[in-house]
């Protein structure tokens, strides 16, 4: 059962009420005021629950980042497998020994450390192919 109340409202506010009633297709002023009060109560409760909302948002972002991390890891694994296949193909084709492959590995590690993992084009090799 609804309770009747008396309220004193500025004429300019009442003008806005009448305009907004038409916009949202609200049939009575009492229903409009009731919806406005419900909305404002919800707003006040949400301000009190900011910690809860923040934790929900953080949890959602963590889930998104975990999914991104998983997809990126799978892609990097696939890329590493393809690179290993190419390297094996080249090593077999050039008949490289284990010592030569170790030397190439060491040189590549040093090069990546030197450029801090950033690729620079054109890459200049210290040794020239003869």
For residue range 21-67, list pLDDT tens digits in order: 988 888 899 989 988 898 888 877 776 666 666 777 888 898 899 99
Q: Domain extents for the chain?
A: 12-48, 51-114
Cβ–Cβ under 8 Å, residues 31 and 24: no
The reported pLDDT for the residue numbered 24 is: 86
**pLDDT value at position 78?**
95
Q: Which residues of 75-99 are buried (b: 16+ CB within 10 A; e: fewer)?
A: eeeeeeeeeeeeeeeeeeeeeeeee
51 touches 66 (CB < 8 A): no
In 10 A of CB 17, how many CB atoms? 15
How would residue 94 be classed by pLDDT, with cut points 50, 70 and 90? very high
pTM above the 0.75 mark? no
Question: Are the C-beta atoms of 46 and 53 separated by less than 8 Å?
Answer: yes
User: Sorting pLDDT into bands at 50, 70 and 90, what band is 89?
Assistant: very high
Q: Would the pLDDT of 107 be above 70?
A: yes
Confidence at residue 9, expressed as pLDDT on a 0 to 100 scale = 92
Mean per-residue pLDDT, 114-125: 69
Share of the chain above pLDDT 70, in %: 85
What is the spatial distance between Cα 38 and Cα 61, in angstroms, rounded to a whole number? 30
pLDDT of residue 79: 95
């Amino acid at each position: 059962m609804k309770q009747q109340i008396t309220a004193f409202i500025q004429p300019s506010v009442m003008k806005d009420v009448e305009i907004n009633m038409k916009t949202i297709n609200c049939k009575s002023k009492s229903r409009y005021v009731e919806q406005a009060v419900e909305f404002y109560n919800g707003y006040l409760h949400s301000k009190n629950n900011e910690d809860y909302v923040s934790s929900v948002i953080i949890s959602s972002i963590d889930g998104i980042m975990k999914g991104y991390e998983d997809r990126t890891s799978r892609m990097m694994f696939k890329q590493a497998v393809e690179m290993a296949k190419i390297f094996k193909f080249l090593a077999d084709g050039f008949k490289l020994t284990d010592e030569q492959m170790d030397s190439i590995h060491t040189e590549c590690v040093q090069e990546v450390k030197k450029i801090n993992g950033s690729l620079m084009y054109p890459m200049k090799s210290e040794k020239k192919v003869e």
